[in-house]
Amino acid sequence: MDVKDTKVSFICPVCGYPELQEPPRSSRTGGGSYEICPSCGFQFGVTDDDKGISYGEWRARWIEKGMPWDSTGIEDSPPDWDPQKQLKRVADHDT
């Protein structure tokens, strides 16, 4: 298997979306990746570091809004996207 063919993805610690392109935070520096989760809209390094909103706070807001796909009009949700199922991938507490 060619290494270039291997796709590595990361799980959003806010909503459990399993296909982030980068780890949300650098293991080396601890800084945010600045990637925006297409599912819940959390931007790592901005929503948390700059705006002071925790994963748990954003998760609660997203759930309260009905767990909408945040990237509507930019990127379609995966055909089998199930926000309730993906939410089970994250702990019930802030990380």
Q: Is residue 4 part of a domain?
A: no
Of 32, 15, 14, the residue nearest 23 (C-alpha): 32
Per-residue pLDDT reduced to its tens digit, 52-82: 999 999 999 999 999 999 998 899 999 999 9
Q: Is residue 21 part of a domain?
A: yes
Q: Is residue 76 part of a domain?
A: yes
**Rounded CA gap, 94 and 76, in Å?**
28
pLDDT band of residue 7 (cuts 50, 70, 90) is confident
Count of domains in the chain? 1
Domain membership of residue 51 as a residue range = 9-95
Q: Is residue 3 part of a domain?
A: no
pLDDT band of residue 41 (cuts 50, 70, 90) is very high
Q: Is residue 16 part of a domain?
A: yes
pLDDT at position 52, please?
A: 95
Q: Is residue 1 part of a domain?
A: no
Q: Taking phi first (over 0 means left), then psi (-120 to 50 degrees means alpha), and beta for anything else, what does residue 72 get?
A: beta
Q: Is residue 65 part of a domain?
A: yes
